[in-house]
Amino acid sequence: MTYLDYQATTPIAPEVARAMHPWNEEKFANPHSPSRWGHEAAAAIEVARKQVEKATGLKGGTVAFTGSATEALNWALKGTVEKATGKRSRVITVATEHAAVLDTCEWLAGQGVDLTVLPVDREGRLNLDLLQRELDDRVLLVAVMTVNNEIGVREPLTAISEMAHKAGALVLTDAVQAFGRVELCKGPDLVAISAHKIHGPKGIGALWMRKGKEPAPLIHGGGQEQGLRSGTLSPALCVGFGAAAKLADERSTRDYDHVQRLWTTAIQTLGPGWVINGSKEHRYHGNLNARREGLDGARLIADLRDVAFSLGSACGSGSGRPSHVLRALGLDYKQARSSIRLGFGRYTTQQELVDACRRIAAHAILQEKLDA
Ligand code: PLP
């Protein structure tokens, strides 16, 4: 199997598996219990927290662990709205956001929140003039992702943060596809991340919160995370997240350069006839979303069972619905259907990528001939 679905999830790093092992076996204590074992587990969680915080590169805030980035995003959105006082009650987001943001925003709109979903241009980027026109003293929060999960496009977050802050609004970014892959923008007040996209375990995410901008709690109970998020933390998952973050931080230049080379290899090997979806310039190069006229992407995936790649987001796959991201770029239904997403990274070798891209290109040409 050649794994080319790095946006859906990433393979666990061996260092991460090793770091987690004792916490899955003999070190089972509750990190919130006062016993010596409990203290040891709590200390390991604090080390992990520092590792994640350091890897974000962000200053002036803290990380709270959550059960997923989806939870972190729900918390950031709902908790910020709940905490708001005065006349600020508007939320602005973008049409290409992940469902964890869009669906939560829609839910908030159902509760009476004034929601604006801004369109993107054909490159998949938010037009800053459009945003400027929407920013007024009623805007509470602007939520824009850092790197898009379907098309890899990077949003102009530094400018977005400056503009939003000038208007007195907070900024939330879904940095799930960016953390551990590209340098994070320092502007946002709330940043959601996930361990399993950086070679860590599934079932743990985090919300970085600028001091003083913490949202009201979403999950109530024991208040284990700084009184803001309840539930017994898993030392194994936290330690795994910390180890993955440390590794990503240490290897950042190596991983980044490797991904740049893989991108060039993939483009060259696929050959002519493919059009990249989204900006070529403003993007993370470990995500290659491309279309080919007449291609049936789903059929291609079925034909190449031993290569794992996808049509778009893992959450949207199987729904049968055309990708909302590709539609937001202005692609029609046929163009969206003819698109595939290849995701590669740290453990992808040049050779396996060449082999897989050759087969993808050959099958695409075969489809063309059969359908002619
Ligand atoms: N946001 C983006 C951009 C994602 O790609 C994902 C995962 O696919 C999520 C949010 C949700 O992350 P998690 O799986 O940790 O809930």
Task: Write the pLDDT tens digit of every residue in 21-45.
Answer: 999 999 999 999 999 999 999 999 9
Q: Respond yes or no: is residue 357 known to be catalytic.
A: no
Please report, in angstroms and rounded to a whole number, the separation of the first and last CA atoms in the chain: 30
- Alpha-carbon distance 201 to 20, whole Å? 9
| Mutate which of 70, 179, 284 for ligand 1 pocket (most atoms within 8 A of beta carbon) | 70
pLDDT digits (tens, 9 = 90+) for 213-258: 999 999 999 999 999 999 999 999 999 999 999 999 999 999 999 9
For residue 266, what pLDDT is reported? 98
Residue 326, CA atoms < 13 Å, CB-side half-sphere: 25
Ligand 1 contacts CB of residue 98 (under 6 A): yes
| Inter-residue contact 313 to 102 (CB < 8 Å) | no
Cα-to-centroid distance, 313 and ligand 1 (Å): 9
Q: Which residues pair with 141 in a beta bridge?
A: 91, 170
Ligand 1 contacts CB of residue 149 (under 6 A): yes
Determine which one of 105, 238, 315, 357 is catalytic. 315
- Among 264, 231, 270, smallest CA distance to 360 is for 270
Ligand 1 contacts CB of residue 100 (under 6 A): yes
| Mutate which of 52, 173, 177 for ligand 1 pocket (most atoms within 8 A of beta carbon) | 177
Give pLDDT < 70 ranges for the chain: 312-320
Cβ neighbors of 36 (< 8 A, separation 6 or more) are none
Ligand 1 contacts CB of residue 70 (under 6 A): yes
DSSP string, 62-98: EEEEES-HHHHHHHHHHHHHHH--TT--EEEEETTS-
| Inter-residue contact 77 to 216 (CB < 8 Å) | no
For residue 320, what pLDDT is reported? 63
Q: Residue 365 is which amino acid?
A: I
Ligand 1, atom nearest to 71 Cα: 16
- Alpha-carbon distance 308 to 306, whole Å? 6
Ligand 1 contacts CB of residue 68 (under 6 A): yes
For residue 308, what pLDDT is reported? 97
Ligand 1 contacts CB of residue 176 (under 6 A): yes
List % helix, strand, coil for the chain (3-state, nearest 5).
40, 15, 40
